Amino acid sequence: MAGRCESCGMPLSKDPEGGGREADGSRSIRYCSLCYDRGAFRHPDATAEEFQRHCMEALAAKGMPRVMAWLFTRGVPNLPRWTAPPHGRS
């Protein structure tokens, strides 16, 4: 599996479940299992900035120094989930 999650930026090869799941149960090739399950985002109402903070807190809780957590998540607002137009709009 290549690429990165289009929501959080995690390498999909590091996903503990091998990727998120689509509504039909198939594996997502765009989103990791920490961000996406059963065809929906796990944090559907979060803004990019809120989600970035959530990811930073989750990494820090696992023992990562805060500066490293910030470095790992600083690109979240520029990922396709956050920059693409909403579905149904161009």
Residue 37 lies in a domain: yes
Residue 52 lies in a domain: yes
Structure confidence by residue, pLDDT tens digits, 3-27: 999 999 999 999 999 899 999 999 9
What lies within 8 Å, CB to CB, of 14 at 6+ separation is none
Q: What is the number of domains present in the chain?
A: 1
First to last CA, the chain: 29
Structure confidence by residue, pLDDT tens digits, 30-60: 999 999 999 999 999 999 999 999 999 999 9
Half-sphere exposure for 16 (CA within 13 Å, toward CB): 2
The residue to which tokens 């479940």 are assigned: 17
Task: State the residue range of the domain holding 70.
Answer: 12-83
Residue 73 lies in a domain: yes
Residue 88 lies in a domain: no
Residue 77 lies in a domain: yes
Residue 90 lies in a domain: no
Half-sphere exposure for 38 (CA within 13 Å, toward CB): 3
87: nearest Cα among 35, 44, 56, 50: 44
